Amino acid sequence: MSTNDQNNETPKAQIREGTNLKDFCDNLGVRARDLIEALNKQGIKVGVNHDITKDIASLITKISGVAIEITSIEDEVSQLATADPEELVPRSPVVTIMGHVDHGKTTLLDAIRESNIVNKEFGGITQHIGAYRVDYKGNSITFIDTPGHEAFTRLRARGANATDIVILVVAADDGVMPQTKEAINHAKAAGVPILVAVNKIDTTGADPDKAKQQLSKEGLLVEDWGGDVVSVDVSAKEKTNLDALLEMIGLISEMLELKGNPNVPAQGVVLEARLDAQKGPMATVIIQQGTLYQGDAFISGTRFGKARALFDEHGKPLKQAGLSMPVEVMGFSDVPQAGDLFQAVLDLETAKHIVSYRLLKIKEDAPQQRNEHLTLDQLFKAIEGGDTKELSLIIKGDVHGSVDTLNDILPNLSTEQVTVKILHSATGNVTEQDIVLASASNAIILGYNIKPLQNILDLAKSEHVEIRTYTVIYQLMDDIKKAMHGLLDPVLKETYLGRAQIKRVFLIPRAGEVAGCLVMDGKITRKSNVRLLRGEEVIHEGRISSLKHLKNNVTEVKKDHECGIGLDRFKGIQEGDIIEAYIIEKVAPAEL
């Protein structure tokens, strides 16, 4: 806090957000009781622990004659790591390896690590902290050892951009596979340069050119084929061309002109975190700006702490960690979340103050939190406001033909106001990875001839991701067109009610097959629609013909109760089948 009373100007006081009346008065040298009494006379009921808001600050100015300026805590935090252009220096690249399962991601990581790290100090034993450094020709490269593109995108979904370069691993004997396509789409959505590593060139049947041709169909045209995407043919097993791969990483890094300021308080991102039985909450952090020193106070999301100890990937204690370095930090108040931003601050009291204010704001803003993800209805409202928008879509369908058709026709619906962009498309049901990508990229998921599972629908709801399913392509196209022109009609919304498992099958004279069931979740109602599931396959969709509890006809049966269910116009139920109940409602698009 500072005051200024020069040249008969109005005295001024500068305070942080979250400063209470007691601290304000102590610093200004006035009695808190007098100021509280004056505010009470103005109709403002406050106490010594009450935070000074803009309204209260305005009244204090009238009462005391001291002009109060409230500074933003978040602005203060962001300015800590502001880089002075004159102090910027080159920094090491941060690289993530992605690709299809069994194409050699882990083998490639291990091969690079073994040739650069293992058999050095600490007996060659490495401590897994989610990232590690490799030295190559006097320069360092940081590799993020993630379990796949899901973790990569989860970080991005939380606003964290931890990666400079993505290495896409494609097996020369297998070519482009479903997860290869997903990895490409995730990397493109993040806007990160892609370096292709065509692996397993030593295997029988290896055909690197075929793999590169398949990549061209996914929009990745490598330099060998006249494109601008760098590719290297490697064998992780035989350690062939690993030097060439590292060389290419260095060249791409030079082109990106990666720089940072080592002279500001450290700023970075949490890669992963855990609770250690002996050391307490620990987190792996990639330092993106500045230098982190042992003993530094810090904040990370709604956690704070003091760096009691720093460790590298070998478990070796460090005194400091610089630009692009992965470091395990001990001293958090609680386990942070992956993707949380990490920022060193002046002292522990400052850290506590900032986190306390953040927690207070979260509590205050909770009732007002709204879905910020784009829906088709919100798209029109944005266009009406004069904004040019991009409609990002994820397409999932039952067969390749349907998916390919949608890939061809949907981008052609683009207008001057809206560009239709397909982030990812594949056959099969909607997956958790689809939800993660949609959440990170503000995309809408369109399903054709598929039925998302209930756990996926629940996840989509929690992530505020819109899923729309269709059985007729022209209806799907019509909805997109109407959204782009603001003509969306009320749509049919499915609401899940519950599910029951068939324990026994009874043959009742005149009634036919009756399923003896136990309601596992929610409830089953007499008027609900139902679908019969055998594994993940939908065997039948229809209505209930009868619903009984004991010998009585009932309108509904709730969880953990037994019942008898007759299905209208269907025979062939089996023990173990699942009966899922739902209702269909007409609702306005904004209600989805």
Host domain of residue 253: 92-257
Helix (H, G, I), strand (E, B) or coil at 397: strand
Residue 281 inside a domain? The answer is yes
Q: Which of 16, 37, 71 is the last residue of a domain?
A: 71
Residue 77 inside a domain? The answer is no
Beta-strand pair 444-448/491-508: unpaired
> Could you tell me the two tokens for 508?
């009742």
Identify whether residues 207 and 286 lie together within a single domain: no
- Supply the CATH number for residue 343's domain: 2.40.30.10
Q: What value, to the nearest 5°, has the Cα angle with vertex 505 and ends 504 and 511? A: 140
Q: Report yes or no: 244 and 308 within 8 Å, Cβ to Cβ.
A: no
Residue 87 inside a domain? The answer is no
Beta-strand pair 292-293/320-321: antiparallel
130: left (phi over 0), alpha (psi -120 to 50) or beta: left
Dist. CA 220–CA 176, nearest whole Å:
11
- Supply the CATH number for residue 170's domain: 3.40.50.300
Dist. CA 186–CA 437, nearest whole Å:
7
Dist. CA 396–CA 400, nearest whole Å:
10
Q: Report yes or no: 289 and 81 within 8 Å, Cβ to Cβ.
A: yes
Dist. CA 99–CA 458, nearest whole Å:
28
Res 440: pLDDT:
81
- Supply the CATH number for residue 395's domain: 3.40.50.10050
Cα–Cα distances in angstroms (integers) from residue 305 to residues 159, 295, 317, 330, in the given order: 22, 10, 18, 9
**CB neighbour burial string for 546-557, b if at least 16 within 10 angstroms, e if fewer:** bbbbeeeebebb
Identify whether residues 330 and 472 lie together within a single domain: no
Identify whether residues 10 and 120 lie together within a single domain: no
Residue 371 inside a domain? The answer is no
Q: How far is CA 444 from the centre of its chain?
A: 15
Domain count, the chain: 5
Identify whether residues 135 and 219 lie together within a single domain: yes
Identify whether residues 129 and 167 lie together within a single domain: yes
Beta-strand (E) ranges in 290-441? 292-293, 297-300, 303-311, 317-318, 320-321, 326-332, 341-345, 389-397, 418-427
Dist. CA 92–CA 258, nearest whole Å:
7
> Could you tell me the two tokens for 286?
């990639």
Residue 81 inside a domain? The answer is no
**Sheet of 94-99, strand order:** 131-136, 139-144, 94-99, 165-171, 194-199, 231-233
Dist. CA 223–CA 497, nearest whole Å:
54
Helix (H, G, I), strand (E, B) or coil at 493: strand
Res 389: pLDDT:
67
Residue 195 inside a domain? The answer is yes
Q: Which of 366, 394, 424 is the last residue of a domain?
A: 366
Dist. CA 468–CA 446, nearest whole Å:
5
Torsion, Cα 171 174 176 178, to 10 degrees, reads: -110
Question: Of 377, 400, 162, 139, whose CA–CA distance to 247 is shortest?
Answer: 139
Identify whether residues 106 and 239 lie together within a single domain: yes
Res 5: pLDDT:
43
Q: Which of 442, 473, 489 is the last residue of a domain?
A: 489
Identify whether residues 105 and 240 lie together within a single domain: yes
Identify whether residues 96 and 245 lie together within a single domain: yes
Identify whether residues 337 and 444 lie together within a single domain: no
Q: Which residues of the chain have a pLDDT value below 70?
A: 1-10, 81, 83, 115-129, 145-160, 362-374, 376-389, 485-491, 586-592
Start-end of H helices in 14-89: 21-28, 32-41, 54-64, 73-80
Identify whether residues 22 and 44 lie together within a single domain: yes
> Could you tell me the two tokens for 559?
């969880």
Identify whether residues 451 and 574 lie together within a single domain: no
Res 575: pLDDT:
94
Helix (H, G, I), strand (E, B) or coil at 56: helix
Question: Looking up tokens 């252009």, which residue turns up?
Answer: 85
Give bridge partners of residue 557 from the DSSP assignment.
524
Dist. CA 258–CA 522, nearest whole Å:
54
Cα within 13 Å of Cα(517), Cβ side: 33
Q: What value, to the nearest 5°, has the Cα angle with vertex 106 and ends 103 and 107? A: 80
Identify whether residues 386 and 473 lie together within a single domain: yes
Q: Report yes or no: 377 and 589 within 8 Å, Cβ to Cβ.
A: yes
Please give the single-letter amino acid code of residue 56.
I
Q: Which residues contact 347 (CB under 8 A, 6 or more apart)?
A: 297
Res 550: pLDDT:
87
Res 592: pLDDT:
36
Q: Report yes or no: 177 and 103 within 8 Å, Cβ to Cβ.
A: yes
Neighbours of 64 (CB within 10 A): 17
Question: Looking up tokens 């990106």, which residue turns up?
Answer: 256
Res 372: pLDDT:
56
